A and B are shown apart, each in its own frame.
Chain A
Amino acid sequence: MLPTYLEAQEAKQQIVISFSAEFGDHEIQLGEPYDWENETVSITALKYYISNLKLKYQGQVVYLDNAQAQLIDYSIPESKQIRLEIPEYAKFDEVSCNLGIDSAMNVSGALDGDLDPTKGMYWTWQSGYVNFKVEGFSSAIASKDGKFMFHLGGYLSPNLAVQSLNFSVDSMSEINFLLDLDQLLRTIDLNENSSVMSPSLKAVELSESVAQSIRIHE
């Protein structure tokens, strides 16, 4: 009993990790049209999983988030933050996490919480989580509704889509992960390719592009 009691008394520091997405210099609003590269683009859904969140100091893990995964959903503001409590004097110089769900979790049966299949991030015709989902409209797409849909995931090699994110950070109390949609959309020719909805090499390639479009907002 004693050590727990002592731990409870130990002073803690709060770390807030937030997730934002920008178009140009604007934090995106779902459904809002943006002028972009002679097109009009709007994002109607943006959701992704963050799992296996760790803080490290000189390569050693100083904090491991026990939550199995958090679904960052841009339609639910409170989902865009992860709050951690770490010992007051703990230092860290690196934050790492997975963008998506790893293979082990993908074969673990019926899960709950943010991994509940009712969250709309689980494929039904085949097992596996959608790691990253973005949907919207673009005037660049020739089809009549101009809709694009990217549901990226896959847990079986060679279509393993989960991405590892690692960033150097100072020991700061607020860390903001910024998804640069401008950069992401530049890597996709929407008129050529407006939908990826199942595990494939294309989904892996796009997942890598998403990971490369995320940076720490200074």
Chain B
Amino acid sequence: MKIEVREGNFCYAKKKEVKPFIYESNISFTLEPGKIMAILGPNGAGKTTLLKCITGLHGWRVGETLIDDVPLKRVSQKELWKKIGYVPQAHKMVFGFSIEDLVVMGRAPYIGSLSKPRKEDYEKAHQALNEVGIEHLAKKSCNEVSGGELQLALIARTLVSNPEILILDEPESHLDVQKQVVILETLKRLSKDHNISCIINTHYPNHAFYLADQVLMIAKNKKAVIGPVQEVMTESRMKEYFNIELRKLIFEEEDLLFETMVPLALAAKRDISECRFNSFE
């Protein structure tokens, strides 16, 4: 599915006073089916708000979102949420639903207002859990599994409604490196296998390099930039938007190629006096 935003902007307005827009310039982009877009920006730039506006959880103050050229407002909520899957950051649940019960909630748009999930719905849930590789946890309480497993379950919850677009809010934050990689690989595979378009908020430039076809970068009082990863994520622009000096590293090992960015400030300073070439012991 194609998702498009035209000249969108947002402000938190109280009743009478009108606050300034939170994005310096109106935001426009088009994401073709099966492509992945990463949204990068410092804390407080409005990344989560942006995701909510894109999906209509918050209404744009100006501008609109179009899905396959149809304005979002013209799509019924039920139909909309069959096509869009929204994955929030994993959070602790008040009640310890089993993973299976949590995932089957994603079938809600298909289940009548007064009925409950049937056998097919649970089969769908198991299929989705299998897809993200945690079917063995189906009966476990969602408060007993690890953060990474819960995040995978939340992704599975969106898959049960056969979405064509996934919107993910920092799915890999708070996870250790191994689980981050599991999430990233799962997303890339889902996008490829099912032609799902993804929009993902992330704090990690590396992850944008790995996943994204295009990048949207925002920051306070800066115009939003959008474009292919290589063009947008340059050292100078990262300095401008994140206010930190980063170095882009390209590293090759046989047929593997890495692209990554590291903060200059974290580099260890070479001390000439302690350099081992100066030592004559």
Physical interaction between A and B:
no
